Structure 1
Amino acid sequence: MNQTIASPSAASTTLPTLSPAEVRAELLARREILLADLREEDPFAKGHPLWAANFPFGRLELDVPRRIPRRDVLIVLYGRDEYRDLAPVAAEKLVSWGYGNVHLLEGGVAAWEAAGYELFIDVNVPSKAFGEFVEANRHTPLLPAEEVRRLIDSNTPPVILDARRFDEFNTMSIPTGISVPGAELVLRVRDLAPDPNTTVIVNCAGRTRSIIGTQSLINAGIPNPVAGLRNGTIGWTLAGLELVHGATRRFADSTPDGRKAAQADARAVAERAGVRRITLAKADALARPDRTVYRVDVRSAEEYENGHLSGFINVPGGQLVQETDHTVPVRGAIILLADDDGTRADMTASWLSQMGWEAYVIGPVEDNQRSRSEDVRFDVVPAPEVKVVSPQVLQGWLNAGEAVVIDVTSSANYIKGHIPGAWWALRSQIENALETIGSPKRLVITCGSGALARFAAKEVESLASSEVFVLEGGTSNWIANGLPLAPGEERLASACIDRYRRPYEGTDASRKAMEDYLEWEYGLVAQLDRDGTHFFQVI
């Protein structure tokens, strides 16, 4: 079955479709495939196949070249919002950018469900489901909040290690906690808890990073008693206990002895998981025409900026395991991992291997092979030629009532602060937003950097009678020029569906939302069994 769409040259291009059964067969055969959901994040989080990656339609020009490096990988698109089927238009774009193996999912997500296949809610589901799979199979020790509170108040308090990003830790944390993001745990734990009789407690906001972090320390064989905080900060809150806000305690540099022990521990774990070491020279040979390769430096952002291998992007290891679908959306791809001494790369690769990925760790390299320059290059979609306006001229137009600003940044950034009087709109729904905004004398399109605004502006030009401009340098340039911002949810021309509100982030989630989230996590293992496409295993 085929669907015909118009190509940019006005000729018709016939794109094949794949049925849900055919897509599932590709997953079961473990061949490379990208199943892309084109909806915004909130509707995506309300139901999608396990291995679907979220590619919001309005950001395709920015996201596709970076996240889909191989042009002939099998791509299957689906996604319908409240106004239109996004897949045919997205397919037209990808074909025009040189992607040669683009298909549409026959019948979309509705056909997937009608075929009796599983739909998963929430985001980063493969990683979260894997965490539950690990706990179910390894019986990872988890202590309730009340027991952890008792230990903190005892004469032999535990060391509390928070495995989330530092910004999450800073927002809310367990009393006495230390920020040690997931991939750092094995590297730092011996120095943070040098007495082998000291209990180590690992926590996150919910369950996944607590489970993976706790099991990482157990797998590495550290001598201390280790347990996770059951249900993380959610469980702490539901138990009626107080969280700390604004904590800043972080790990220090590891000692030579601690680092040496961590290296040996992590290598042993990686070998048990089947992870192979590979030299940087031989790694290049993996990039065959028929394989997608992702190169990731799993150290901290600061270490990465001080020097990294050419072609490697930076995603700290804990976040890579937690959000694998975002960094590595092509299921079946090869993942190359690098750090400085092997510990963090080995531990990260051990988990990716257990999740069914083909992961390699780059062997030791000389320091002079790491560059401080930003040398990661991705193919880009050429930005269209547009008329630009400086912040100063725009301010004059706004003061005279001669222009209206449309901001196509994320809703969260807009609410945090936007040009006074600006409208917010989803780029994917810009035509409908213009019905609310109207067609003033001038429309000025902006976003954080101005990059997405350039693409949106061309669409606005074709839809509105206004003269259309792009704010030079985006809203960041407006700010750099000392011009004012206005915060708040005002003048929203689109619904804020670009961001799914996670029940485990922030401090104002309702009790019911937290309880429902935990119930969902508890049910993931059974859902994995019904789905049957995961290929997870544990060591």
Structure 2
Amino acid sequence: MITAAHLKAALHDGGEIALLDVREHGQYGWSHLFYAVPLPYSRLELDIERLVPNKAARVVVYDDGLSTVAARAAARARAIGYRNVLVLDGGVAAWAAAGYELFAGVNVVSKTFGEVVEHELDTPSISAEELQAALARGEDLVVVDGRPVDEYRKMNIPGAICCPNGELVHRIRSIAPDPKTRIVVNCAGRTRSIIGAQTLRDVGVPNPVVALRNGTQGWRLAGFDLEHGSDRLYPASVDGNDEAADWLVGFAAVNGITFISPEVAGAWLRDASRTTYLLDVRTPEEYELHHAPGAQHAPGGQLIQASDQWLGVRNARVVLTCDTGIRSAVVANWLKRMGWDVAVLEGGRSGWGRIGASGLGHEEAAGRLPALVVLRPAEIAAMQADGGAPVALIDLRPGMAFRKGHVEGARWAIRPRLAAAVADLAADARIVLIAADPRIARCAAIDLAGLGRKVAGLATADAAGWTAAGFDMVATPDEPSEADCIDFLFFVHDRHDGNLEAARRYLAWETGLLAKLDDRERAGFAIIGAGHDVKEGNA
């Protein structure tokens, strides 16, 4: 166990530490510690080695303080091989009782960072009304949507071109070749608009650049309509990079960006005394075509926006790679400002083969999960009719998916609450797990075995297959209840689906983040100046 006061000190002592919130997504998003990384117990074995690749790192897990989830998660982590795992005594309740702040929402560190950037660098912005008027006048401007393609296609400012923030510097000359064209960067809310616009200003783009204040939500709140299903994507080819090498040297020198050789990167990855991440910041298509051995894909814009999806160990080393170094250097500059010990891999893709084996297994625990027999619905129907032990259908899909449709007679369950879900079953019941991701069922099977329960097999959630086998499909809009649906964050969840009041609440939440920071949390960011010193022995 670790007390709240000792954890607070550990979070700011400069050493590596992974603070893992092992509750489900909805519980985490409602209230959590500032530096917490979400790792739901329902998928612990699937993600822990990716988030915490060094099993010698300090790990602290916590829950609400009222359940056994954190203790079970700690036991599983130790079984996987983590050697330094502690549980926060009393969970979030004890943290709050000690006088420390709790935060709602997701990707809170990154979003708070965006607010700090705007506050300290005075990033210029334009309101939805001002942008609409400029578009109506036919002004020379281009709206660039800095979100990933899937988010852009859901909704966008009319006429906007999709270019994720991590690609902006790499491709902006192809999008706005005339330096007189005003560039307006937008997202769905605030952070990526601010970071995208400030990125272009930092690198010296000659165009006037502004952020769209409050993004697509602000646009809708102003009474304007969005487009849906747009396909105006960033250009595949890149113009204006003839002088890229010279620019990269200058940008790195001005901003103190560290470059390391592939050999050094390999040594870092094999160094058991430290945690090192190797992240490829290019587009998904580029990564799938070819990438460095052991590198995880982390699109640059999203790595800044949602660092906790990739970086689970505070004060770890981060090595970024791309093809030319441009995208890596731009993202590295932002991570450095966020407080990360970050370096760029020299030589781009030409050096990937010289890194060598990392010695890290990001999926070893997932590979050791118990195997389950895959059952077809017709086989399950035969089991129900064979006169043997009763068959129980346990649906492990997300709670909201269960609400929309499930096999009649199936009961919804989630790993932290499996014991309650099967408590009234016959001792010899044959349990069939229904899951969209078979790995989730294999994780749950570990806990069911610990309860002495027999798992007969795994079935998919394919409605057509169940119907063909004679099963009825039903919807239960209120089951699981909102209280039980702990894997879904109800907080302003429909802000992008027409609920303008939810959009107002979200924007108020985001603009209020900065005021919630304490002095030590605020000091973790270094927006202006040389930033954080690289610790001795890290470079």
Mark yes or no: TM-score above 0.5.
yes
Distance 1:476 1:163, change over 3 A: farther
Q: 1:394 to 1:134 in 2, by over 3 A?
A: same
Deviation string 1:462-498 (CA, Å, 9 cap, x unpaired) is: 6587x532226x4479979999996855584572221
Q: Please, which of 266, 269, 275 is the counterpart of residue 284 of structure 1?
A: 266
The normalised TM-score by structure 2 is 0.87
Pairing of 1:422-437 with structure 2 (within 5 A):
422-434=410-422
Q: What does the per-residue CA deviation read over 1:164-222, in whole Å, with 9 as the maximum and x for residues that have no partner?
A: 11111111110001111110111111111111111100000000000000000000111
Task: Determine the structure 1 residue equivalent to 2:534.
Answer: none
CA distance in 2, matches of 1:29, 1:368: 35
- 1:380 is matched with which residue? 365
Q: Name 2:102's counterpart in structure 1.
A: 119
TM-score, normalised relative to structure 1 = 0.87
Q: Report the alpha carbon displacement of residue 412 of structure 1 after superposing the two structures with TM.
A: 4.9
1:279-311 Cα offsets, whole Å, 9 max, x none, are: 111112223222101111111111111100000
Which residue identity lines up with residue 31 of structure 1 in the other structure?
G
The answer (yes or no) to whether the contact 2:19–2:35 under 8 Å persists in 1 is yes
The answer to whether the 8 A contact 1:387-1:469 is kept is yes
Paired residues for 1:349-428 under 5 Å: 349-365=332-348, 369=352, 377-378=361-362, 379-381=364-366, 382-394=368-380, 396-397=382-383, 403-412=391-400, 414=402, 422-428=410-416
Deviates more, 1:475-484 or 1:259-268: 475-484
Task: State the partner residue of 1:514.
Answer: 503
Q: Aligned partners of 1:186, 1:505: CA distance in 2, in Å?
A: 32
Q: CA deviation at 1:356?
A: 0.3
Instruction: Give 1:187's aligned amino acid.
Output: H
Q: Shift of residue 240 of structure 1?
A: 0.8
Q: Can you give the 5+ residue segments of structure 2 that lack an aligned partner in the other structure?
A: 529-539
Mapped contact 2:30–2:489 kept (Cα < 8 A): no
Native 8 Å contact 1:206 1:504 kept in 2: no
The 1:170–1:144 alpha-carbon spacing in structure 2 relative to 1, beyond 3 Å, is same
Q: Which moved more, 1:219-228 or 1:95-104?
A: 95-104
For residues 389-434 of structure 1, what are the alpha-carbon distances to aligned partners after superposition, in whole Å with 9 as ceiling and x for unaligned? Answer: 2455236557999744322133355557655664332121112233
- 1:154 is aligned to 2:137: yes
Q: Secondary structure at the match of 2:517?
A: helix
1:380 is paired with a residue whose SS is helix
Q: Which amino acid aligns with 2:40?
A: P
Instruction: Give 1:143's match in structure 2, choosing from 122, 126, 134.
Output: 126
Alignment of 1:51-450 (within 5 A): 51-80=35-64, 84-255=67-238, 257-261=239-243, 264-265=246-247, 268-287=250-269, 288-365=271-348, 369=352, 377-378=361-362, 379-381=364-366, 382-394=368-380, 396-397=382-383, 403-412=391-400, 414=402, 422-434=410-422, 442-450=430-438
**Residues 259 and 397 of structure 1, relative CA distance in 2, 3 Å threshold:** farther
Cα shift at 1:367: 5.0
State how far apart, in whole Å, the 2-side matches of 1:93 and 1:114 are.
28
Q: Which moved more, 1:445-454 or 1:291-300?
A: 445-454
Question: Which amino acid is 1:469 matched to?
Answer: A
What CA distance in whole angstroms lies between the structure 2 residues aligned with 1:149 and 1:448?
Answer: 43
SS at match of 2:184: strand
Check 1:47–1:399 CA distance in 2 against 1; reply closer, same or farther (3 A cut).
same
Counterpart contact for 1:158–1:198, Cα < 8 Å:
yes
Compared with structure 1, are the counterparts of its residues 112 and 394 closer, same or farther at alpha carbon in structure 2 (3 Å cutoff)? Answer: same
Q: What does residue 22 of structure 1 align with? A: 6
Aligned length: 517
The residue that corresponds to 1:496 in the other structure is 485
Q: CA RMSD in A?
A: 3.2
- Seen in structure 2, the aligned counterparts of structure 1 residues 443 and 294 have a Cα distance that, compared at 3 Å, is same
Range 448-457 or range 187-196, more displaced: 448-457
Q: How far off is 1:162 after superposition?
A: 0.5
- Once residues 303 and 385 of structure 1 are traced to their aligned partners in structure 2, the CA distance between those partners, rounded to angstroms, is 33
1:45 aligns to what SS in structure 2?
helix
Query: What corresponds to 1:535 in structure 2?
Result: 524
Counterpart of 2:456 in structure 1 is 469
CA distance in 2, matches of 1:509, 1:132: 25
Aligned with 1:523 (options 492, 503, 512): 512
Deviation at 1:67, TM superposition (A): 1.5
Once residues 169 and 505 of structure 1 are traced to their aligned partners in structure 2, the CA distance between those partners, rounded to angstroms, is 17
Deviations 1:1-30 (A, max 9, x none): xxxxxxxxxxxxxxxx22222222222222
Q: 1:370 to 1:154 in 2, by over 3 A?
A: farther
Q: Aligned equivalents of 1:81 and 1:509: distance in 2?
A: 36
Which residue type is aligned with residue 452 of structure 1? I
Q: In 2, are the aligned partners of 1:423 and 1:492 still within 8 Å (CA)?
A: no
- Paired residue type of 1:424: W
CA positional deviation for 1:111:
2.0
Partner of 1:36: 20
The 1-side partners of 2:268 and 2:374 are apart by 43
Partner SS state of residue 337, structure 1 = strand
With 62-71 and 107-116 compared, the bigger mean Cα shift is at: 107-116
Indicate how the Cα distance of structure 1 residues 368 and 215 shifts in structure 2: closer, same or farther if over 3 A, else same: closer
Return 304-313 or 63-72, whichever deviates more: 63-72
Structure 1: gaps (5+ residues):
1-16
Check whether the contact 1:177–1:249 (CA below 8 A) recurs between aligned residues: yes
